[in-house]
Amino acid sequence: MTVSAPAQAMFDDDVASKSLGIELVEADGGRAVARMRITAEMVNGHGIAHGGFLFLLADTAFACACNSHGPVTVAAGAEISFVTSARLGDELVATADERTRYGRNGIYDITVHRGAEVIAEFRGRSRTISRS
């Protein structure tokens, strides 16, 4: 499993993701894998993981995938569908896959899993803002 230099550099500066314990496992060629364990601080009033943390994990994998090519790329939009709940102690893995890049735009699908079980599906739209 490899991490491209541009994705690693971006992740190294991502204080938000790292402060939540997100780990970058892989990021290269438009694909990325990130993981996170659900802590007590991430659980909402229903006793399940707050959806914002699931979105953040998927968004981190998305960012690493679309920045794995090199040019600075940001989110132009994203949406998430929650399939089932995550709970305290769950280790979640987000796998991002590039679907297409066209011009300065891209579309990425990210699946958040707990083991083999799908927790959420996320689709992100990217925009390259720099050619360097």
| DSSP string computed for 52-105 | HHHHHHHHHHHHHHHTTTSS-EEEEEEEEEE-S---TT-EEEEEEEEEEEETTE
Q: In this structure, what DSSP letter does residue 47 have?
A: S
**Mean pLDDT over each residue of the chain, to the nearest integer:** 95
Q: Beta strand pairing status for 31-37 and 73-82?
A: unpaired
- Which pLDDT belongs to residue 20? 95
* pLDDT grade for 131, boundaries at 50, 70 and 90: low
Is 130's pLDDT higher than 90? no
Order the strands of the 117-128 sheet from edge to edge: 23-28, 31-37, 91-102, 105-114, 117-128, 73-82
Q: Which two tokens stand for residue 101?
A: 């890049």
* pLDDT grade for 64, boundaries at 50, 70 and 90: very high
- Which pLDDT belongs to residue 1? 75
pLDDT in tens, 2-25: 999 999 999 999 999 999 999 999
